[in-house]
């Protein structure tokens, strides 16, 4: 990756970094290896050596290839999308829609879809839980919330962290990261927490985004202090607030770090194999935890 100091003629941000030529005011230490213009994480396209800007990739300048033979790619090898936040918007919409249903239907809806291992639910008049074969709860619990503050905090975090990460990874890889991190958080909660203690929220998936963001920033040699400070604050709340399912946060964070590392550090020649294989291993570990807990409860 070629990094050069900005010239006096280039616009710079408040920290003295050159500004991305497509997003003025957004400081970056990355330059296109072809035209040497500064590019931010939303614009950089992974190349065999370093990163390139979308315009150079689109025109295929200096390669002798037609524009269609050189499609723009993200740092993780994903396709560059016209709307880099589309999936983040959809995920926020799904969470908000589920919360509106919770408000309109009441606790009966929440009790049917939150995460619970095995317990008698008076409202339903039966023993319910993942151990009873209701494996869907591992997924549906990721889209439910316990109140206005809970969903507001999670959705703001998803917007701030998810958007830039979606742009850096590409939609398919970003969605895999989100869902697998959420599942890992649900599985660890199911494994460790009390079987009759309900849990819900998107926090496991969001902590996975935190972990992947830290890996990405490290990969790009960005200042790690802001994301580390934010992560520490969230972990303090995780272990200091009695009603928070810390298991979901830890499970999601670990999965996010593992998957994020595979996404941004996989060698180009084996990128798909490494990324898919890592996601499969995380999914296998998630299923293993759920099976082990189910056996112990039944």
The residues annotated with a catalytic role in the active site are 203, 249
Residues 80-117, buried b or exposed e (16+ Cβ, 10 A)?
bbeebbebbeebbeebeebbeebeeeeeeebbbbbbbb
Q: Which of 44, 8, 9 is nearest to 28 (CA)?
A: 44
Sign of the C-alpha dihedral computed for residues 250, 128, 139 and 145 taken in this order: negative
Q: How far apart are CA 141 and CA 135, in angstroms?
A: 11
């Amino acid at each position: 990756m070629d990094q050069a100091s900005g010239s006096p003629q280039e616009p710079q941000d408040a920290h003295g970094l050159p500004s991305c030529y497509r997003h003025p005011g957004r400081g970056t230490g990355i330059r296109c290896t072809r035209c040497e213009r500064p590019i931010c994480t939303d614009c950089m396209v992974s190349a065999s050596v370093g990163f390139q800007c979308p315009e150079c990739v689109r025109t295929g300048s200096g390669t002798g290839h037609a524009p269609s033979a050189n499609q723009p790619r993200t740092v993780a090898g994903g396709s560059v999308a016209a709307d880099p936040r589309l999936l983040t918007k959809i995920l926020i919409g799904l969470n908000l829609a589920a919360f509106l249903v919770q408000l309109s239907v009441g606790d009966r809806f929440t009790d049917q879809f939150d995460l619970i291992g095995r317990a008698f639910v008076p409202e339903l008049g039966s023993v319910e839980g993942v151990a009873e074969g209701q494996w869907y709860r591992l997924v549906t619990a990721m889209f439910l919330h316990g109140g206005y503050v809970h969903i507001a905090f999670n959705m703001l975090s998803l917007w701030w962290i998810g958007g830039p990460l979606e742009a850096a990874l590409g939609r398919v890889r970003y969605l895999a990261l989100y869902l697998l991190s959420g599942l890992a958080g649900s599985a660890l909660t199911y494994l460790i927490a009390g079987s009759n203690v309900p849990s819900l929220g998107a926090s496991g998936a969001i902590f996975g985004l935190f972990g992947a963001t830290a890996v990405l920033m490290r990969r790009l040699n960005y200042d790690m202090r802001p994301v580390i400070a934010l992560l520490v604050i969230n972990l303090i709340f995780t272990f200091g607030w009695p009603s928070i399912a810390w298991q979901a946060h830890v499970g999601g964070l670990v999965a996010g770090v593992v998957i994020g590392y595979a996404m941004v550090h996989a060698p180009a020649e084996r990128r798909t194999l490494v990324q898919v294989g890592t996601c499969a291993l995380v999914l296998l570990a998630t299923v293993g935890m759920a099976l082990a807990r189910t056996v112990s409860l039944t």
